[in-house]
Amino acid sequence: MQFAVVDTLGGAGRLQPLTAAGAAAGPAERVGDLVAAVRQREAAGGPRWVWPVTGEVYPRLLAAGVRVGRCHDLALTEALLLGYEGHWGEPRSLPAAWARARGLPVPQDRPAPRAEAQPTLFEPFPAGPADEAERLAAVAGVYARQLERVAGAGDPGRLRLLVAAESAGALSAAEMGRHGVPWRVDVHDALLVEMLGPRPRAGMPPRLRALADQIAEAFGRRVNPDSPAELQRAFARVGVDLPSTRAWVLREVEHPAVRPLLEYKELARLHAAHGWAWLDSWVRDGRFRPEYVPGGVVSGRWAARGGGALQIPHALRRAVVADPGWVLVVADAAQLEPRVLAALSGDQGLAAAASEGDVYAALAAQTFGGDRSRAKTAVLAAMYGAVRGEAGALVAALHARFPAAVGYVEEAARTGERGGIVRSRLGRTCPPPPADWQAVQAAATGPDADPAAVRTAAVRAGDRGRFTRNFVVQASAADWALVLLAALRRRLAELAAPAPELVFFQHDEVIVHCPRPDAAAVAAAVTEAAGEATDLVFPGTAVRFPLQTAVVGCYADAKQLTGTAAFQADR
């Protein structure tokens, strides 16, 4: 059973049972307590809930102790379908989708307020009994139209799986925000004091002040270490011309200011991104509760609104500590993208190499005389389009040995260079080139084209090709990881209370916070979910997607305790 749902003022709402095709399966019902109605129907059989934006309604249900098993997120699905149909980036809200379904002018999306500030689910629809019915009709109508569009796709099975996984990911994102990452404020504070010195009442921490003084002493004058322009002028005065002040550029310079400057940059970044102000803003009641954005990156990877949720620095992972009696099950799909390339391309040789624990070591033994670093450079260069110099020679050697794999990304690059679009394994579609790209290419056509315009067009075409070359791999890796997340979420819900909590997800890594006795069952669920994701996304492939799992009390200990080369290998 499926239900379209709208909420109304005072905690009431309307429900509409739907058929598998999205048509009405019975009369709409107005309920005085929407939370109770959802709880009752979940207990009766776990329906699929159809609503415009998961992040606007589901947190309210979670706050009331109601977990749902399945949903269909209209906004996320609309975005996927618009991209697939060549209308990437057009408005995707319920009013826009409903107008589009009826052939009416499409309104622009309005910036969505945070979930706790959202007064109704479906603004800018007005409130009132008649308008509740209209909103419910819009939800049902858009859903039915989306099902038709999925069915009409070139490969509806894959796109249907992507839509389901994207919506399940939205449920996970809301639940992860509700659970929060276990975070020890005292440990975080102690780490900051160790690295930066005592917390200042105002201004710069003591260690940063000391490093700034050392930089000034090295230059013989005060320099603002946060100003690239000032630093470049300071180095120029001592005879060193720098193209930038990036760390990799500075490491090539011999000057007494370099060492304190590199340390300053690292610590200043930590202080700005995860210092005491971050701790005050983002950690409450022993939990870091960020706001995740499923599909926030064009490749399908997640993003986050504030807090740097997807970039927990290694230096601060000591603060991620399980509750007493609980543990963290940390699972990591090492070297995911080379394995995805092997599965995408059907290259049997690369698939055989991907059956090893360390893909790069296997490739090194086969093709690069045992030199793992050269094998890694070759694979990354093929996926990212670094085809000049030594990297180009390595890619050529890789192409000779694995023609199907390298040919797959090469074809994606050629498509991008021509201004075409490419898709992930399940159908996520890359954005088309912008209008200015098209104009640059048009200016370079014809026998009388200016040579400078031709060169500019070639550079822009190459940039586009590198983007599409990587998109097919990275977005397909995101497909696999999202299906894994959905499968893992379902399995964790089947374990006995207190239920394990998914608390972190980053592309190829998940963390589950669970009671210590459940650790083995959770680790098994992770392994099973990876197998299910592989079977669904790459049916019949010989490629293995091993997940290395560690059971730890502290996140920082995860990789040290796995004891496997695959987990510790570079990605």
Query: Before 498, cis peptide (omega within 30)?
Result: yes
Same domain, 9 and 152: yes
What pLDDT is attached to residue 561? 54
Residue 526 lies in a domain: yes
Same domain, 203 and 111: no
CA diameter of the chain? 81
Domain count across the chain: 4
> What are the pLDDT tens digits along the chain (571 aa)?
899 999 887 888 999 999 999 999 999 999 999 999 999 999 998 899 999 999 989 999 999 999 999 999 999 999 999 999 999 989 999 999 999 999 999 999 987 555 444 444 444 444 444 588 899 999 999 999 999 999 999 999 999 999 999 999 999 999 999 999 999 999 999 999 999 999 999 889 999 999 999 999 999 999 999 999 999 999 999 999 999 999 999 999 999 999 999 999 999 999 999 999 999 999 999 999 988 999 999 999 999 887 887 888 898 999 999 999 999 999 999 899 999 999 999 999 999 988 877 889 988 888 888 889 988 998 888 998 876 778 888 888 889 999 999 999 999 999 999 999 999 999 999 999 999 999 999 999 888 889 999 999 999 999 999 999 999 999 999 999 999 999 999 999 999 888 999 999 988 899 999 999 999 999 999 999 999 999 999 999 999 998 899 999 999 999 765 543 333 333 3
Beta bridge partners of 330: 511, 550
Select from 176, 188, 505, 512 the least CA-distant residue to 320.
188
Q: What is the CATH number of the domain that holds 357?
A: 1.10.150.20
Range of the domain at 512: 291-335+479-568
CATH code of the domain covering residue 134: 3.30.420
Predicted local confidence at residue 564, as pLDDT = 38
The verdict on 389 and 457 lying in the same domain is yes
**Cα–Cα distance measured from residue 227 to residue 221, given in angstroms and rounded to the nearest whole number:** 14
What does the alpha-carbon distance between residue 386 and residue 373 come to, in Å, rounded to a whole number? Answer: 15
Encoding tokens for residue 350? 């690369």
Sheet containing 326-332, strands listed edge to edge, beginning at the edge strand earlier in sequence = 501-506, 509-515, 326-332, 548-552
> Considering the domain boundaries, does residue 413 fall inside one?
yes
- Asked if residue 435 and residue 343 are part of one domain, the reply reads yes
- Between CA 533 and CA 566 the distance in angstroms is 19
Contact in structure between 301 and 478 (CB atoms under 8 Å) = yes
Of 179, 210, 235, the position where a domain reaches its end is 179
Asked if residue 311 is part of any domain, the answer here is yes
Q: Based on the fold, state whether residues 352 and 446 are members of the same structural domain.
A: yes
Output the pLDDT for position 504.
94
Is 87 a member of any domain? yes
What confidence score (pLDDT) does residue 232 get? 95
pLDDT on residue 215: 96
Alpha helices in 346-450 (DSSP H): 348-353, 359-367, 372-384, 389-401, 403-417, 435-443
- Backbone torsion region of residue 10, taken as left when φ is above 0, otherwise alpha when ψ lies between -120 and 50, otherwise beta: left
